[in-house]
A and B are shown apart, each in its own frame.
Chain A
């Protein structure tokens, strides 16, 4: 028996009802959507078992704003495909490997002055062969739907689809075919999204600060970077000493590995691996591989305990990285942890 399996806390009372053992066949239909920004990442993600990729390409020179959900670089590492020729090459090779390609045009806002440039940028991606476009703002969803009526839209996390009512509105009025749920969505909520007819549901895994990323003005700050990951000190008041508040805003609940069977049973369309900005692309692809192993375990009819034991046996990263950083710190995405008990 794997000790790590025993570390996983039980589910919350509300979510326990949505924990299920899926039909093994269903696992084959769940996609793994992985980030790519160059050919090396693509090759690694294919090896890791991804079935879909998402990517963004660099806006034209002279454009001040990014046209997707990340700046051009984060902590020094690029987040976007560097040029149009490479974009086409990546998409062509991804299609040759049977993968679906999502083009990220999910900027939280695009100014009126940038509208034409933005639409030309999106058109380049579609011409290069992208299968869908990920949107991050209502106006851009409307523009792209009007300009490219045949191209399916994906509501990215910046749209903040926290309720079924919003998802239905996006589906009916904007032609959105897939939503990426916020990383703080719960199993019972994901189940409700999966009940919406004609809507694909993508669930981010292995990420999450517990914050509402769709309404945050604290990313990429001078010196401190991501506000949710920064360390804080209490501002002194007369009668108190300085207090180290640590990662006060960081409510990270990342790992969903133990709950992959339930997500399959709920009928999610894809699991999203984070990391367009990842500085260590092999490690990023290894995360994809871990979730591939979890899906394969479901397909074989294994219990989660059995899948974890198998991972434990063959993956060095499991004991070296995953267990100390996830299991021992209870950074469970869908379990009854202190961080998740504080969910509003």
Chain B
């Protein structure tokens, strides 16, 4: 088992390097504007390597405008030393196949889910299923590891590492960033606006043909999932109750320093203790 802590920026790197972790990665899946400058990243990754830890960079899902910069950045960083490159779109994966660094499929590349053949609603937390056929496609792109939410179903496949994100589940990303819109800012000026999350819950629905939002029926209100929005990404708090058996990722944004210090050791401890300490996530 390895424990990896994910940081959006190196802002908490000192804190994390003092913890008993195996790997530190920097970045997130959704926004190129939030990714630190190249020099900042280089220095941070060097410090992670010097601490004897696996260093990783998480490349946000690229749009054509940002693709060249992200690929260039990843290639540059890979030349500095061993690097795990987490990609969140297939174009970036295709462009980085030959770099020699470990290529990991990020959380935004978790497989999609089919819709219902009739019209039954789909719960946002239904676990994703990595079919063998999808794993084959990842391998074709040179991907040798993948990240998934904790409950994802992933068949055993030789040569493929699986890293599971604890306690939270990513649900959606947007190109038009809701946080930037909310603060009436635009990238890159919005880069610090998403350091604080927006916690919310759906109260209204929009139906085709009605043309306006209307209150969610009373009977359906308890089913609405509390959501946490960081920047352009939407998450749900899903405390991991099962004892992880493989590699795990812990996203530092969802923990105070005290909680993070406790959480990085908990995967190696018995379940009841670990879970009780993090039940606060259910109300996040």
Contact = CB atoms under 8 A, between A and B. Distances in A.
A223 B111 contact: no
Contacts of B217: 223
B122 A232 contact: no
Interface stretch (A18-26, A60-68, A125-133): A60-68
B181 interface: yes
B178 A223 contact: no
A147 interface: no
A344 B31 contact: yes
A166 to B, nearest CB: 3
Interface residues of A, number: 96
Contacts of A182: 175
B117 A162 contact: no
A109 B129 contact: yes
B122 A165 contact: no
A67 B122 CA distance: 15
Interface string B37-53: 00000000000000000
A102 interface: no
Which among B31, B61, B63, B186 has the greatest number of chain A C-beta atoms within 10 A? B63
A59 B115 CA distance: 12
Interface string B105-147: 0001111111111111111100001011110110010000000
Interface string A225-261: 1111111111101000000011111010100000000
Given A212-B61, A216-B172, A65 B123 contact: no
Interface string A153-181: 00000101111111111000100000000
B234 A249 contact: yes
B4 interface: no
Nearest to A325: B211
A76 to B, nearest CB: 7
Interface stretch (B75-83, B84-92, B251-259, B267-275): B84-92
A162 B61 contact: yes
Contacts of B174: 209-212, 228, 249, 251
Contacts of B32: 344
A120 interface: no
B206 interface: yes
Which among A76, A139, A188 has the greatest number of chain B C-beta atoms within 10 A? A139
B92 A65 contact: no
A142 B139 CA distance: 14
A112 B124 contact: no
Contacts of A59: 117
Contact of A189 (B63, B184, B187): B63
Interface residues on B, range: 35 or more
A73 interface: yes
B90 A109 contact: no
Interface stretch (B18-26, B159-167, B195-203): B195-203
A301 interface: no
Given A163-B89, A232-B200, A342-B187, A65 B117 contact: yes
B276 interface: no
B13 interface: no
Contacts of B94: 165-166, 168-169
A192 interface: yes
Contacts of B234: 218, 227, 249
A57 to B, nearest CB: 12
Interface in B165-213: 171-178, 180-182, 184-187, 190, 198-209, 213
A137 B134 contact: yes
B2 interface: no
A342 B180 contact: yes
Contact of A216 (B171, B202, B216, B220): B171
B62 A217 contact: no
A55 to B, nearest CB: 16
A189 B64 contact: yes
By Cβ-Cβ distance, the 10 closest A-B pairs, closest first, are A223-B220, A108-B112, A210-B176, A251-B176, A231-B204, A163-B91, A166-B91, A139-B133, A65-B114, A279-B209
Interface of A: 14, 58-59, 63-77, 107-112, 115, 136-139, 142-143, 158, 160-169, 173, 182, 184-186, 188-189, 192-193, 209-212, 214-235, 237, 245-249, 251, 253, 277-280, 338-344
Given A160-B89, A221-B224, 17 more contacts: A65-B114, A66-B115, A69-B115, A109-B112, A136-B112, A137-B112, A161-B91, A162-B89, A163-B64, A165-B71, A209-B174, A223-B121, A226-B206, A227-B171, A227-B234, A248-B178, A249-B172
